Amino acid sequence: MDTEINEDLKTQLLKTLEAGLTEDGLKRMKKHVQSFLDEIESDIEYRMKDDLAPMLAGYVSDMVTRTIDAILKGNESEIRRYLHCEERGFHGRSTDTYTDREIARQHPIIHAKLHENSCVALRHMIVDAHRDLITSERIKDLEDQVKSLVAQVNKAEAEREAMWERVRAFA
């Protein structure tokens, strides 16, 4: 009985579809579907173009923050990973585990200039660009700490001296 009902429904549905789906009806439906798909494609393209720059900037910012945090926290393994100087990884030196070139070809001269691969160049640029800044800022940090410590010692001595004055006054 269920199969008879299903067959009857199927037959009625097919008749309805055949009656309602004319050639013009199919063309209109295809046009609506294509319009809908074009709108989706346009929206996706817009969102990709509009969101790509901020998302990429956010990713780069996050990686920089992670690198700086690793440096500040003294996480040596992360620092080595970010600066490409892991012991068993690619670090741009002739002792790389992935290097199968002879030492004479490891650091070539190109256009009369010693070529540095990106790993070595990054470390070189950090030190060259910021050696004085890092040194001078660290000196300023230490000078400020010394001023604070001197002030603390002076305050403690003044308090100690005031205490002795009160003790002497009672004696």
State the Cα angle at 142 between 141 and 147, rounded to 5°: 100
CB 102 within 8 A of CB 63: no
pTM higher than 0.75 for the full model? no
> Could you read off the pLDDT of 65-119 as tens digits, one per residue?
888 888 788 787 887 777 766 666 665 665 655 556 666 666 677 787 777 766 6
* Nearest of 60, 63, 56, 59 to residue 82 by alpha carbon: 63
